[in-house]
Amino acid sequence: MKNLFFVGSMLLAIGGWSQAGWTWTELPDMPEPVANNAVVEAMSNDTLCIYSFTGIDSTKEPSGIHLKSWKYNTVSQIWSALPAVPDENGGKIAAGASVVDNIIYLIGGYHVADNFSETSSEKVHRFDPNTDTWLEDGSPIPVPIDDHVQAVWNDSWIYVVTGWSTNGNVNDVQIYNPNVDFWQAGTPTPNGVNYEAFGTSGSIIGDTIYYFGGVQGSFSFTSNARLRKGVIDATDPTVITWSLLDDAPGADGYRAAAAHYGDRLFWIGGAGVAYNFDGIAYNGTGGVSPEPRIATYYAGGSVWEEGITAPYGVMDLRGIGQVSPTSWIICGGMEEDQLVSDRTFLLEYDPSVGIAGQVHEFQFEVVKNELRIRTTGTPLTSVAAYDLNGMLIAEERAEGGVENAFDLGEKSHRLIIVALLFDDGTIEHIKLGH
């Protein structure tokens, strides 16, 4: 991520809450309630802003699906209207937004007619945050898509993974190179319900794609808690090796916002039951409630963290804006009783805080460039050290029941975060340095 500024000290706190390393601060409301809106961050000249594109209004009717756009200035703390998305086919929802070289790419989504028929979009809209203007559309996506995974690899290529295409789930991996305005096909996800999904979301860490949850089926649309992994071949980024990881504990995931810090992945909010654009469950059980949680996966230790709750349940999220390596903004979505929201929140993560309710006994000291750790009780499995930008410095296996020593090299004098993974799958953190 490029050119990010930490804005937490400049934000006016309307309300705040913290738990298990997370602090939520309510910011000024959006101009109007909106759900299923594509959200992303970008620089507007020298100011970081959060952008919201398209969505559905509080009517939750097809006529309430629109092309409105807004931006939130993180310095002035003001929301303002932008030119509408230039799509002659009308309003849409479930699009995705990404930034490459400070141009925003709004991809896909779907239109809903008055008779409730749905059509996936092939559009690639391009927006210049410096001038607040829409540029000429990019090349259409080969397979029209909505409710897909969308993430940027190597600050250069946009990966569009699975999703829904008018008549059903697809396993396509579509890769866009903005520099040459060209689409190419990546290794598709394996066929079948384990990988094909809509309403899922994910991130790319290094050369690895992770995406969680979503919905399969044709009419009943069953949600799931699956986590999938795709390793990109850096020598040929169209080649991807796919595999399944452990399911998330607890509820399934549908339309959550995805983010990551280092190799820790977060899915914020979402729902445990699949629903239509009006918030009503596909399975006939009525209105769906959001999950007040942050589903957290530690990729370095291949383990889910449990017990991370949130003060506010929100679903129908199609993106998140990053304002620093450890802070993000969400806006809009649906609250309890399928209420379309205009609320905006700053979410700040402290990676030095362990999981609530999990306690392990250990002692540590730093001797020259060496970190020495002694544990009692649950054996230690591995140790990973990160800088404050979330970059992995070192990771090593540990031996249970003995003192372990880890060489931190020349970075031992810096302020870093050390994550201790224990044999029971839980994690503790310690701060080192100045």
DSSP string, 126-187: EEETTTTEE----PPPSS-BBS-EEEEETTTEEEEES-B-SSSB---EEEEETTTTEEEEEP
Asked if residue 356 is part of any domain, the answer here is: no
Residues ≥6 apart with Cβ < 8 Å to 271: 223, 251, 253, 254, 255, 288, 289, 290, 291, 315, 316
Asked if residue 355 is part of any domain, the answer here is: no
- Are residue 273 and residue 329 in the same domain, yes or no? yes
Residues ≥6 apart with Cβ < 8 Å to 210: 202, 203, 204, 227, 228, 229, 230, 245, 260, 265, 297, 299
pLDDT number for residue 357? 42
- Are residue 298 and residue 374 in the same domain, yes or no? no
- Are residue 212 and residue 74 in the same domain, yes or no? yes
pLDDT number for residue 371? 80
Instruction: Say if CB 327 and CB 349 are below 8 A apart.
Output: yes
Asked if residue 354 is part of any domain, the answer here is: no
Task: Please state, as a whole number, how many other Cβ atoms lie within 10 Å of the Cβ of residue 88.
Answer: 6
Asked if residue 2 is part of any domain, the answer here is: no
Give the tokens for residue 155. Answer: 């600050």
Pair type for strands 38-44 and 318-319: parallel
pLDDT number for residue 360? 66
Specify the DSSP class assigned to residue 246. P
- Are residue 113 and residue 220 in the same domain, yes or no? yes
- Are residue 224 and residue 334 in the same domain, yes or no? yes
- Are residue 331 and residue 414 in the same domain, yes or no? no
In this prediction, the residues of the chain whose per-residue pLDDT falls under 50 are 1-18, 355-357
pLDDT number for residue 9? 29
The residue out of 326, 349, 372 marking a domain boundary is: 349
- Are residue 105 and residue 230 in the same domain, yes or no? yes
pLDDT number for residue 17? 47
pLDDT number for residue 295? 94
Predicted TM-score (pTM) of this structure:
0.84
- Are residue 342 and residue 378 in the same domain, yes or no? no
Asked if residue 299 is part of any domain, the answer here is: yes
**Rounded Cα distance, 335 and 317, in Å:** 11
Give the tokens for residue 183. Answer: 């689409």
Largest alpha-carbon pair distance within the chain?
Answer: 71
Q: Structural domain of residue 201, as residue ranges? A: 8-349
Give the tokens for residue 11. Answer: 């934000």
- Are residue 274 and residue 304 in the same domain, yes or no? yes
Backbone angles phi and psi of 391, in degrees to 5: -80, 135
pLDDT number for residue 130? 98
- Are residue 222 and residue 293 in the same domain, yes or no? yes
Q: How many structural domains are present in the chain? A: 2
Give the tokens for residue 289. Answer: 């409630």
Asked if residue 3 is part of any domain, the answer here is: no
- Are residue 225 and residue 291 in the same domain, yes or no? yes
Q: Collect contacts of 238-242 with beta carbons under 8 A, ≥24 apart.
A: 238/175, 238/184, 238/185, 238/186, 238/187, 239/186, 239/187, 240/173, 240/186, 240/187, 240/209, 241/187, 242/187, 242/189, 242/190, 242/195
